[in-house]
Amino acid sequence: MPKDFEIFDLRITVDSIKGCSVCGLQVGDYFEVVESSKLRIPAGKHFCLYALNSVLPLLPAKQRQLAENDWLECDTLVACPDPEEGLIMRIERIDRRTMDSEELT
């Protein structure tokens, strides 16, 4: 018996840089998480491992519909851990899809 559930695809975009981007990211650079666990980075681009690591713990919650006033439902900005960079990323929901939990691990 299929066990369908809804999940959001996400785009994480560099929203602003208040310092010096030593990792080479620029405002507008992004990666996407689609189909529950697939990471997509545009061809010819990169995403800093440390910036990625700072946003990863929030992504499973942002993939799901939360209570309207839950802080994770309302907040979308995440800071890179390098204080000299001042890099801020924005998490956006870009699509909603239905998946079958039996097809996932």
Ordered by start, the domain boundaries in the chain are 4-96
CB 12 within 8 A of CB 40: no
Q: For the chain, give percent helix, strand, coil, nearest 5.
A: 20, 35, 45
pLDDT (tens digit per residue) in 7-25: 999 999 999 999 988 899 9
pTM of this structure: 0.90
Predicted confidence at residue 4, as pLDDT, reads 87
Predicted confidence at residue 72, as pLDDT, reads 84
